[in-house]
Copies of this chain bind each other. A is one copy, B any other.
Amino acid sequence: MTVVQQYEEIAAYLRSSIREGELVPGDPLPSEAELCRRFESARGTVRQAIALLRSEGLISSGQGRRSRVLDHRPTQSFDDIFSFTQWCLTAGITPGQQTQWVTRKPADPRLAAHLEIPDGAQVVSVFRLRLMDGQAAMIERLNYPFEFGRHLLSFDTDSGSIYQHLLDCGVDIDTATRTIDAVPAEAEDAALLQVPAGAPLLRVRRRAFTTGGTPIEYSDDRYLHTKASFTINSTRNSPTALSMISS
């Protein structure tokens, strides 16, 4: 059971004030004293909530003055990270998919390493073309150890969100590591996306883990470069969760 702590309540209140537009970019946050009164809470608790919003990129450093609301896109929910379907719906776009294949096969060494399973262990892989408002937008490759992927073998992968189906089956998805880069389109992907081979694609690879740290998914999504971008706010004196890696 999760106990909601008071700083989380205050943080949720401030986030929703920003999301609903009661606080707009450039506005100062309510003062600490005001928040203490409203929530009948200690100053430390209020500061805790404010520090959390800062690390989420929603407000400025507040050095020497009150923190301002930053220009931003809504922070992304965990569901939006996993579910292209959910991400499209949040953005007011009609999602779609054309499953190319679902297969059960032995893992090759590279995939086995990503999923931390023995070479040759069974995996379930899904290959879909994803659509935004009926237009080809992204090539999706999902891979699961059999223990988790077996839930997909009898699922209609043209019916929508695999992530939601896995949650419905009780699969425990706790953390995700994403790697974002640019790659040239290979022939198979280029044909499905109707672009020349070599065209720039925005690639998002994701590893997902259970609460205990067991890998549950390795995926590779490749977006037409005109269809998606990423944005993040960073504030001085607050570490940023996003790291740029050299290669």
Which A residues are closer than 8 A to B by beta carbons?
A: 2, 5, 7-8, 15, 26, 44-45, 47-48, 51-52, 55-57, 60-61, 63-65, 68, 70-78, 80-81, 87-88, 91, 93, 132, 173-184, 198-202, 204, 209, 211-213, 223, 225-247
Contact = CB atoms under 8 A, between A and B. Distances in A.
A184 B199 contact: yes
A61 B211 contact: yes
A88 to B, nearest CB: 7
A60 B177 CA distance: 11
Given A51-B52, A175-B61, A211-B60, A232 B242 contact: yes
A231 B246 contact: no
Contacts of A52: 51-52, 55
A147 to B, nearest CB: 19
Which of A55, A63, A132, A179 is packed against the most chain B CB atoms within 10 Å? A55
Nearest to A70: B175
B242 A80 contact: no
B239 A232 contact: no
A58 to B, nearest CB: 8
A200 B2 CA distance: 45
A181 B230 contact: yes
